[in-house]
Amino acid sequence: MKQVEKPKKPLIIYYLIAFIVLILLNWFVFPMFMGSNVREVDYGTFLNMIEERQVSKVQLEGDTIYFMDKSEEPQQYETTTFDDPELVNRLEDAGCEFGRVAQEQMNPILSMLISIVIPVLIFWGLGQLLTKQMMKKMGGGAGGNPFMQFGKSNAKVYVESTTGITFNDVAGEDEAKELLTEIVDFLHNPGKYQEIGAVCPKGALLVGPPGTGKTLLAKAVAGEAEVPFFSISGSEFVEMFVGMGASKVRDLFKQTNEKAPCIVFIDEIDTIGKKRDSQGFSGNDEREQTLNQLLTEMDGFDASKGVVILAATNRPDSLDPALLRPGRFDRRIPVELPDLKGREEILKVHARKVKLSDNVDFNAIARAASGASGAELANMVNEAALRAVRDNRKYVTQEDLEESIEVVIAGYQKKNKVLSTKEKLIVSYHEIGHALVAALQTNSAPVTKITIIPRTSGALGYTMQVDEEERNLMSREEIENKIATLTGGRCAEELIFDSVTTGASNDIEQATKLARAMITRFGMSDRFGMVALETQVNPYLGGDSSLSCSPETASTIDDMVVDTVKQAYDKAMNLLRENKGKLHELAKYLYEKETITGEEFMSILNKKEDTEEKN
């Protein structure tokens, strides 16, 4: 665990101290040398003022005379005396108070000490305090000079197994754990590998979407190996000054060699590991110098010492090839989204600290959360616990977990969002249109829930479908059925109200994406067949794609996408038109209940079919 540092005093405190010292010097020290506001006059003026009885008090200090007038606001004057033997008589005749002060000459050394040395010492002490404060903020050390801290690595160091995380805390990534276990075994027992001539991999690159547990896996490796663990983000190498990033890399590897065996983890390595190019003046770029130094250090250190470099990224396509070659990052470990079994295990891990009721079915929750990452599953468990607390319950139920899935996917319920009667009716028919088209087709996922309660994501309602089994492949017929299901809501609006609304915007977007992917990526068109017309870029961050074809072909693709969606729309419209009675009955039931389960939906649908068969 990291040591807890004492709170640091803000710099404003030291500035206040300096300000107070200056005020004290101005009040008590400087007046001793600077004198008061005294007006200087000649000796004749002084004698005239005495004769006119305008002088009230006189003080003699050597050859200098200080005197005050008799005005309402007395003014102090200064003049130089001459050898005047009648001065005392004149003062007595004018009734002035007078006296003589013996002039004391201050020691010159003491005068210099007070006026120069003491202020210098005061400001030197304040400077030392400010320097120490700056040094603490920048990491300390470096011979007491904070500016020497530039170029020092600020990696967080977890000694031994103080990360508190082991492989038992990681679930759903069995393949990744298996590949990393060998590294842990090498750090524990290097002898059996060296005996046969094998060396430990220098580096392992963890690749996967956000939230899949790449950082957690790296900490688990350190926890299992019980060795020092250096953790640093790629962005921490990048500095404003050229060459500082490379200096940090050198300092980091110097520390690791001193603490070997150990593990170094660089998170978001794509920040400094991007591909280099030969255009412009990129050779002087700070990021490129940092990357070059990293490449050199990874080539230079001795793998037999047990120094292992782990790195994580969700943008592997942007990394420089020199960084990925064997000898640097020897292993590329995929950390993908968990499958059904993995999701179930992840839910169990995160539910260890949560009090659960006896009716919780993690398998059902895992099936409903298809495509969720480990971080999202952890959030679902936490949301379920928070919901239980809001309802004043001591444990989490199955209903809490099911609601938490909807919260993560669609957002919270908008309790203050009130739909008008007409809008509520339109949304009811829209959602039943989706559900009915899905139920009337083969090879479609069963409907599990339909609701018309608005959500914070902007959805006025949604229909949830959950596959009974984990699906990794989709046939052409299944994709076409899914597109038809997506168009079912708009079809129901047009069929019942002879009008359409903006409620199908998200459906249109998803249907268009699927239709385009069928033609350009999946090779499911008779016109182009198995020809790739689109390249997917950055698959772990949204999966954006770009067309790789001529403008004429792109125009043809657009026409084919329109035809594909139109055919699905016509199919959905025919299904709803043939089952218009079911559509009315189910929409009315949903309008009254606002939320219905898949069992209720199928019960009404099958009951209607039985009645028609008897008639």
Helix (H) or strand (E) segment spanning residue 14: helix 11-24
What DSSP line would sit under 152-196, residue for residue? Answer: ----EEE-TTTT---GGG--S-HHHHHHHHHHHHHHH-HHHHHHH
State how far the Cα of 512 lies from the Cα of 403, in Å rounded to an integer.
29
Helix (H) or strand (E) segment spanning residue 63: none
State how far the Cα of 444 lies from the Cα of 568, in Å rounded to an integer.
14
Non-local (6+) Cβ contacts of 356 within 8 A are 395, 396
Per the CB < 8 A criterion, the answer to whether 206 and 214 are in contact is yes
Sign of the CA dihedral 477, 483, 485, 487? negative
- Bridge partner residues of 100 (DSSP): 60
Question: 3-class SS at 67?
Answer: strand
State how far the Cα of 614 lies from the Cα of 607, in Å rounded to an integer.
11
Specify the DSSP class assigned to residue 84. Answer: -
Within 10 angstroms of residue 79's Cβ, the number of other Cβ atoms is: 20
As annotated, the active-site residues are 431
State how far the Cα of 405 lies from the Cα of 410, in Å rounded to an integer.
8
Strand 39-40, strand 534-536: pairing: unpaired
State how far the Cα of 533 lies from the Cα of 387, in Å rounded to an integer.
47
State how far the Cα of 38 lies from the Cα of 66, in Å rounded to an integer.
9
Helix (H) or strand (E) segment spanning residue 362: helix 362-368
